[in-house]
Amino acid sequence: MITLYTSATPNGHKASVTLEEMGLAYTVQPIKLSEGTQKEPWFLAINPNGRIPAIVDHDEGDFAVFESGAIMIYLAEKSGMFMPADAKGRSRVLQWLMFQMGGIGPMMGQANVFFRYFPEKIQPAIDRYQNETKRLFGVLDGHLAHSEFLAGDYSIADIANFCWVRIHDWSGVDIAPFPNLKRWMDQIAKRPAVQRGLKVPEDTSLSDKDQKKEELIQSARKLLV
């Protein structure tokens, strides 16, 4: 049994979708980011970085794993699923996973901050992160023009990038100019395990009511300064 500490964010969904896809037994402990639960000493003992997601694997002596990418690799190795065993296949998956961890996540994350959360609209910062997000979407689109998935069969690399690209509205970037990316997004969104994972820890679909959306924006702002 695994405990997943999470919130309804792209990084949290990377872990919950992965667990759902692999059919691993887990329980969810929701972390209230707006209340600072992630900075409490008991949670820092699990993740010294004070962020979600994190997991504790009770089958492995309560082994704790933090960083969403590291969690996905750990679960792929535990389950033997969604990452090939051969060196080249594994490397291809890790390349696209790192592309998300080092590119899509940080750039979209900053685009979200400057476009969506900060009341002051600092245009050069918005432009910088939106342009970089568009450039990265172009890289995905170009690759997906000749591949069904990012690295051979459907893998943790697809899950990681999907969970971020789906919130492109938060960054103020449209995916309509990227038809291959859109085709791939639509395909992954249909997977039942993905749909279940996106409801963890609660159903916060992108069509949230305005009031709920405003609450989310307010609590995110508090974390950023």
Where does this chain bind ligand GSH (CB under 6 A)? 9-11, 33, 38, 50-53, 67-69, 223
Nearest approach, Cβ of 110 to ligand GSH (angstroms)? 11
Strand order in the sheet with 26-30: 26-30, 2-6, 54-57, 63-66
Q: How far is the CB of 20 from ligand GSH (least distance, A)?
A: 18
| Identity of the residue, 38 or 155, whose beta carbon is nearer to ligand GSH in the bound complex | 38
| Residue 219 beta carbon to ligand GSH: minimum distance, rounded to whole angstroms | 10
d(CA 132, CA 103): 9
- Of 73 and 144, which CB lies nearer to ligand GSH in the complex structure? 73
**Residues 21, 159: contact at Cβ < 8 Å?**
yes
Closest by CA to 73, choosing from 86, 90, 48, is 90
DSSP letter at 83? S
Give the rounded distance of the alpha carbon of 168 from its chain centre: 12
**Does residue 62 sit in helix, strand or coil?**
coil
Q: For residue 148, what is the enclosing H or E element?
A: none
Residue nearest to ligand GSH (CB): 51
State in angstroms the smallest separation of the CB of 152 from ligand GSH.
Answer: 23
Cα dihedral 134, 140, 143, 148 sign: negative
Comparison of 73 and 140: residue with beta carbon closer to ligand GSH: 73
Q: At closest approach, how far in Å is the CB of 51 from ligand GSH?
A: 3
Q: What are phi and psi of 25, to 5 degrees?
A: -75, 125
CB of 177 to ligand GSH, least distance (A): 26
Q: Are 129 and 171 in contact (CB under 8 A)?
A: yes
Nearer to ligand GSH, 50 or 89 (CB): 50
| Alpha-carbon span 167 to 35, nearest angstrom | 23
Q: Which of residues 164 and 184 has its CB atom nearest to ligand GSH in the complex?
A: 164
Q: Which is nearer to ligand GSH, 53 or 197 (CB)?
A: 53
